């Protein structure tokens, strides 16, 4: 928008795009290093809380870390919602990805697995019980 000026069109819809990053740990790590896992999740939550309360300072940090102009980061940081969550959208995305992989024959399976069997909510609930909103 900045580069195109009047020749740009901004499509404003907060729900148009969602980008998730999944944190995965095998069972061995979950149970042999559960304290480390909980500390890790707490640190992610602290970072999310910091960003929510300190948008300007967060923009400075991001701009310097990834090497982009501060005015660019400052102009878009309000568009982002950071959060450590396990919600139903994640489960739907996993199921859709499974269906896609089967349809494209990337896997030999013909039935989408029940991903709920692979999700352990224990550690996230310990850090932030309100963050877990999946339907079991």
pTM for this prediction: 0.79
Neighbour-count burial of 85, counting CB atoms closer than 10 A to its CB (0-12 exposed, 13-18 middle, 19+ buried): middle
Task: State the DSSP code for 71.
Answer: H
Q: What is the pLDDT of residue 103?
A: 97
What are 1-36's pLDDT values in tens digits? Answer: 677 778 777 766 666 677 889 999 999 999 999 999
Q: What is the rounded average pLDDT for all residues in the chain?
A: 91
Q: What is the pLDDT of residue 1?
A: 64
d(CA 41, CA 45): 6
Residues in the chain, pLDDT under 50: none
- How far does Cα 92 stand from its chain's mean position? 14
């Amino acid at each position: 928008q900045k580069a195109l000026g009047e020749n740009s069109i901004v499509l404003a819809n907060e729900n148009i795009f969602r980008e998730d990053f999944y944190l995965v740990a095998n069972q061995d790590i979950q149970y042999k290093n559960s304290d480390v896992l909980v500390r890790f999740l707490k640190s992610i939550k602290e970072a999310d809380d910091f960003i929510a309360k300190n948008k300007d300072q967060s923009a400075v940090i991001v701009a310097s870390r990834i090497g982009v102009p501060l005015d660019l980061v400052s102009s878009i940081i309000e568009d982002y919602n950071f959060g450590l969550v396990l919600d139903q959208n994640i489960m739907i995305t996993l199921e859709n990805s499974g269906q896609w992989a089967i349809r494209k024959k990337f896997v030999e399976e013909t039935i989408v697995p029940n991903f709920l069997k692979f999700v352990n909510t224990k550690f996230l609930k310990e850090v932030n019980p309100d963050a877990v909103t999946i339907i079991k």
